[in-house]
Amino acid sequence: MIAKKAKNACCTEYSVVFMDIEMPIMGGMEAMRRIREMTHAGVVPGKAMKVYALTAAELSMEEVEYYCKTVGFDGCLSKPISKKKYYEILVQNGIEARI
């Protein structure tokens, strides 16, 4: 069941994804690295997909942003995140959104 959900998720094209970097089983950093590898290999669609890391990490934001950029995130947001910030990112990426 989990493999089927993963296959369906990876084969759906999204414009924007918000991904927590502290997830159980596989952290967001590793998930992002794998997504970018599969995208570059042409295994999954996602040429224009923007992925933003969400974090409540105790590291400095500069450190988190560095690691996020290294694995392929398009941006990094510190929790808690306001609806306004989500809205701004969606609009920046050409998605019609309302608060």
pLDDT value for 41:
82
Residue 41 identity: A
CATH number of domain containing 52: 3.40.50.2300
Buried/exposed code over 74-88 (b: 16+ C-beta within 10 A; e: otherwise)? bbbbeeeeeeeebee
Q: What is the domain range of residue 32?
A: 13-92
State pTM to two decimals.
0.76
pLDDT, tens digit, for every residue of 70-81? 988 999 998 899
The secondary structure of the chain in percent helix, strand, coil, rounded to multiples of 5, reads: 45, 15, 40
SS3 at position 27 = coil
pLDDT value for 10:
56
> Domain tally for the chain?
1
Residue 29 in domain: yes
